[in-house]
Structure 1
Amino acid sequence: MKLWHSTSLAGLLALLNAGAMAATNATVSTAGLQSTQCVSSTENATTDLYPTKSKVKYATGFSIIYHNTYKVLENRSTNNTYVLYQCGSTKPTVKNVSAFIPVPVKSSAAWATTAAIFLEALGVQNTVKNLGTAPSLVSACLQELLKDVIEPFNDSNSTDTDHQEQKNDVVFNMPGGQDANITNTVYSTEYLESSALGRSEWIKFFGAFFNAEERANKLFDSIDSNYQCFAAKAEKEYDDIRPVIAWTSYAGPTQFNNNTAYWQVSFASYKYDIVRDAGARMLNTTGKQSTMFSTSQSFLRALRDVDIVIDESFVSYNYSTLLKNYGIADPKQANYSWLATGRVFRPDRVQSTSGGLGWFEAPVAFADALLQDLIGVAHPKFVKDGYKHIWFRNLAKSDPVTVVTASDCTDMYAPRKNPAGSCQLIDFQSANPSDSDYLDVEQSRTHDLIYDVAKSEVVNDGSSSHSKDSAAVRLAASLVAGAIVVLGTLAVL
Structure 2
Amino acid sequence: MIIRSILILFLLPALFVGCSTSSSIYEKGDAHYTGRDLFPDKVQLAHAKGFTITYRDHYKVVKIMSPFEKATDTLTYILVQRGTPRPIGYKDSQVIEIPVRSMVAMSSLHLGLVGFLGCEEIVTGMGNLKYVSSDKVLRRINAGKIAEVGKDQGLNEELLISMHPDLVMATGSPVSKVNRYESLYQAGIPVMVNSEWVETTPLGRAEWVKLMAALINREGEVNKKFARVEKEYQKLVQLTANVTSRPSLITGMNSKDAWYVPNGDSYVYRFFRDAGASYHWANTKATGSLPLSFETVYPVALQADYWLNVSIGNVQTKKDVLARDVRYADFKSFKTNRIYSYNKRMNAQGANDYWESGAVNPHLVLADLIRIIHPELLPDHELIYYKSIN
| TM-score, L = length of structure 2 | 0.80
1:52 paired with 2:17, answer no
1:247 counterpart (248, 251, 269): 251
Asked whether the 8 Å contact 2:133–2:347 carries over to 1, the reply is yes
Alignment partner, residue 180 of structure 1: 182
Shift of 1:312: 4.2
1:365 counterpart (360, 364, 389): 360
DSSP-derived class of the 2:183 partner: coil
Shift of 1:98: 3.7
Alignment partner, residue 57 of structure 2: 68
Alignment partner, residue 266 of structure 1: 262
Asked whether the 8 Å contact 2:132–2:138 carries over to 1, the reply is yes
Q: Aligned ranges for residues 206-355 of structure 1 at < 5 Å?
A: 206-236=212-242, 239-252=243-256, 257=257, 262-267=258-263, 269-284=266-281, 286-287=283-284, 290-294=289-293, 296-317=294-315, 318-328=317-327, 331=329, 334=330, 336-355=331-350
DSSP-derived class of the 1:186 partner: strand
Aligned sequence identity (%): 23
Once residues 58 and 204 of structure 2 are traced to their aligned partners in structure 1, the CA distance between those partners, rounded to angstroms, is: 27
Alignment partner, residue 199 of structure 2: 193
Q: Deviations over 1:199-236 (max 9, x none)?
A: 00001111101111111111111110110011112224
Shift of 1:137: 0.6
Q: Deviations over 1:110-138 (max 9, x none)?
A: 11111122112112222222122211111
- Structure 1 residues 273 and 293: CA distance shift in structure 2, 3 A: closer
- Equivalenced residues, count: 339
Shift of 1:321: 2.7
Q: Deviations over 1:173-196 (max 9, x none)?
A: 113344222121111111221110
2:82 counterpart (83, 87, 90): 87
Letter in 2 for 1:359: Y
Q: Deviations over 1:18-75 (max 9, x none)?
A: xxxxxxxxxxxxxxxxxxxxxxx99962521111111111100000001111110010
Once residues 220 and 63 of structure 2 are traced to their aligned partners in structure 1, the CA distance between those partners, rounded to angstroms, is: 20
Higher relative contact order (CA 8 A, sep 6+): 1
Once residues 368 and 217 of structure 1 are traced to their aligned partners in structure 2, the CA distance between those partners, rounded to angstroms, is: 16
Asked whether the 8 Å contact 1:248–1:312 carries over to 2, the reply is yes
Letter in 2 for 1:310: L
Shift of 1:297: 4.4
Once residues 53 and 170 of structure 2 are traced to their aligned partners in structure 1, the CA distance between those partners, rounded to angstroms, is: 19
1:205 paired with 2:205, answer no
Shift of 1:275: 1.3
- Structure 1 residues 84 and 154: CA distance shift in structure 2, 3 A: closer
- Structure 1 residues 301 and 273: CA distance shift in structure 2, 3 A: same
Asked whether the 8 Å contact 1:246–1:266 carries over to 2, the reply is no
Once residues 227 and 120 of structure 1 are traced to their aligned partners in structure 2, the CA distance between those partners, rounded to angstroms, is: 19
| TM-score, L = length of structure 1 | 0.64
Shift of 1:371: 0.9
Asked whether the 8 Å contact 2:63–2:77 carries over to 1, the reply is yes
- Structure 1 residues 348 and 96: CA distance shift in structure 2, 3 A: farther
Please provide the CA RMSD for this pair.
2.4
Shift of 1:157: 6.3
Asked whether the 8 Å contact 2:104–2:124 carries over to 1, the reply is yes
Once residues 251 and 96 of structure 1 are traced to their aligned partners in structure 2, the CA distance between those partners, rounded to angstroms, is: 46
Alignment partner, residue 119 of structure 2: 124
Asked whether the 8 Å contact 2:272–2:279 carries over to 1, the reply is yes
217-226 vs 308-317, greater mean Cα deviation:
308-317
- Structure 1 residues 99 and 42: CA distance shift in structure 2, 3 A: closer
